[in-house]
Amino acid sequence: MSEPSSSVPSSPTISTPATSPPPSPALSNLTLQEHVSEEAKAEAAKVKAEANKAFTSHDFNKAAQLYSKAIELNPHDATLWCNRAYTRVKLEEHGYGLTDASTAIQLDPKYAKAYYRRATCYLQTLQYKKAIADFRKLLTLEPQNQLVRTQLDSTQKILRKAEFEKAIEMEEEASPVDRCYEIIAEGGCEVDRDYQGPALPTTDEGKFSIDLDFINAMIEWFKDGKTLPRRYVWEIVLGAHTYFAQEESLVTLDLEDGMTCDVIGDVHGQFYDLLHLYSLTGIPTDKHCLLMNGDLVDRGSWSIEVIITALAYKWLYPKTMYINRGNHETKEMNRTYGFEGEAKHKHGDQTYKLFSHIFTTMPLATLICATQPPASPIGNAILSPEGKKRYFVVHGGLFSKDGVTLEDIRKIERIGRQPGQEGLMCEVSKHSQ
């Protein structure tokens, strides 16, 4: 196994879909497990060697499957759990990685590397305090480990910075939306006279509005690698914000006869992917809904172009363009995965603040309701009161507790709030794998 990288937190570069098997068997069964035969141990060692090979050749899905097989054979071997944890890290399945590393630690509380793996998972899921606790524990096991000492120091710095920024924010009174309107009213965000790009139409009262010609021209402008004036960015964000602010945390999207709906997943700052997807789904119209299911930004370097295009459609077609908030429409992710840097670089600090705020106004889930009752009975689907099939679309997942109702989701107070590390809002928009 190769050694971990020393950057904290490291920027993941792999975006393999999460397909490796879930943790198994559960640890609670382990202690009750029968004695493992010598043959099973030998077979597990053989499978482990194959898994290590797959890992070295970067076939992480195969490695995860092989480690799982080895664990089935010999669940008491902490190194198998620890290696699978590292494989999970490579697959960006940090939730599973945490579980595996914790199992390795339970099996062998002095297993330094398992603490390291778990700390990495905590870092990647931005649980700095827990990462620090594991680094400290590791240093009691390996006091000479300079790499860990350095990582502990830098994690403490990140934590202090995050706490400092939180404190500053609480002191700020005006919401970034109000502040931007103020700056506009004061004439502090005018379009440069030299600007040659597409122009937002204006209303009779002299206010900016939006039309399809502008969006089409803007997309061409973006394809030429050009940026919009900051004022236009603000107008588009604020235009979309008006509608998000009126939506509930769970949007009910009742399709009418003759309407269709497409759902687009994580675009992650890839503008050309977005255009390709739109070419497949079609853009929103009166008869065609589009739902973008979160994670529009971060990772790719065209996050601004992606989010501006989506928000422009939202402003133009508020009743057929929808966006769910993903785990990357959050400050903590944007700090690590690129959007904060890109937004500030292209349009300045105030623009980033505006984006951060409007991300909090995006709904968390959408319930798409079919136009007609199903032609034939469908399994045990829970139909709407009118007997129609519905599709619950959410970026994160379902809940750690049972009995959460649609009404509970609808009532989540989301505006101005980050999803945090637990609770309904966290689980609905964040996924751990």
Q: Which residues, other chains included, contact 246 with Cβ-Cβ below 8 Å and sequence gap of 6+? A: none
Judged on CB neighbours under 10 Å (0-12, 13-18, 19+), 261 is: buried
Decide whether 20 or 327 has the Cβ nearer to Mn ion. Answer: 327
Q: Which helix (H) or strand (E) holds 150?
A: helix 146-171
CA distance 344 to 110: 44
Helix ranges, 10-77 (H): 27-30, 38-56, 60-73
Q: How far is CA 367 from the centre of its chain?
A: 20
CA distance 302 to 267: 10
Q: Minimum distance from CB of 328 to Mn ion (Å)?
A: 6
Q: What long-range pairs does 277-283 form, CB within 8 A, spacing at least 24? A: 283/313
CA distance 165 to 292: 30
CB atoms near residue 229 (< 10 Å)? 17
Q: Minimum distance from CB of 396 to Mn ion (Å)?
A: 8
Decide whether 93 or 295 has the Cβ nearer to Mn ion. Answer: 295
Helix (H, G, I), strand (E, B) or coil at 365: strand
- The count of residues interacting with Mn ion (CB under 5 A) is 3
Decide whether 239 or 294 has the Cβ nearer to Mn ion. Answer: 294
Give the amino acid at 142.
E
| Residue 328 is a catalytic residue | yes
Q: CB under 5 A: which stretch of 183-191, 197-205, 209-217, 326-334 binds Mn ion? A: 326-334
CA distance 264 to 363: 15
Judged on CB neighbours under 10 Å (0-12, 13-18, 19+), 41 is: middle
Give the amino acid at 222.
F
Site for Mn ion, residues 268 to 307, rule: CB under 5 A: 295
Decide whether 284 or 419 has the Cβ nearer to Mn ion. Answer: 419
Q: Does residue 327 interact with Mn ion by CB under 5 A?
A: yes
Closest-approach residue to Mn ion (CB): 295
Which one, of 302, 233, 298, lies nearest residue 268 by Cα? 298
Q: CB under 5 A: which stretch of 5-13, 42-50, 127-135, 323-331 binds Mn ion? A: 323-331
Q: Does residue 429 interact with Mn ion by CB under 5 A?
A: no
Q: Minimum distance from CB of 196 to Mn ion (Å)?
A: 37
CA distance 31 to 236: 58
Q: Minimum distance from CB of 268 to Mn ion (Å)?
A: 8
Q: CB under 5 A: which stretch of 120-128, 139-147, 251-259, 320-328 binds Mn ion? A: 320-328
CA distance 343 to 75: 47
**Which one is catalytic: 94, 241, 268, 328?**
328
Q: Minimum distance from CB of 431 to Mn ion (Å)?
A: 6
Q: What is the DSSP letter of 76?
A: T
In order of 16, 89, 240, 336, the CA distances from 12 in angstroms are 11, 9, 31, 10
Decide whether 327 or 360 has the Cβ nearer to Mn ion. Answer: 327
Q: Minimum distance from CB of 288 to Mn ion (Å)?
A: 25
Site for Mn ion, residues 166 to 225, rule: CB under 5 A: none
Q: CB under 5 A: which stretch of 68-76, 193-201, 319-327, 364-372 binds Mn ion? A: 319-327
Q: Does residue 120 interact with Mn ion by CB under 5 A?
A: no
Decide whether 134 or 295 has the Cβ nearer to Mn ion. Answer: 295
Strands 390-394 and 365-369 turn out to be antiparallel
Nearest-5° angle of CA 208, CA 209, CA 212? Answer: 140
Q: Binding marks (x or -) toward Mn ion, 397..416, rule CB under 5 A?
A: --------------------
Decide whether 134 or 329 has the Cβ nearer to Mn ion. Answer: 329
Decide whether 298 or 342 has the Cβ nearer to Mn ion. Answer: 298
Cα dihedral 421, 140, 156, 95 sign: negative
What are the residues binding Mn ion (CB under 5 A)?
Answer: 295, 326-327
Q: Which residues are catalytic?
A: 328
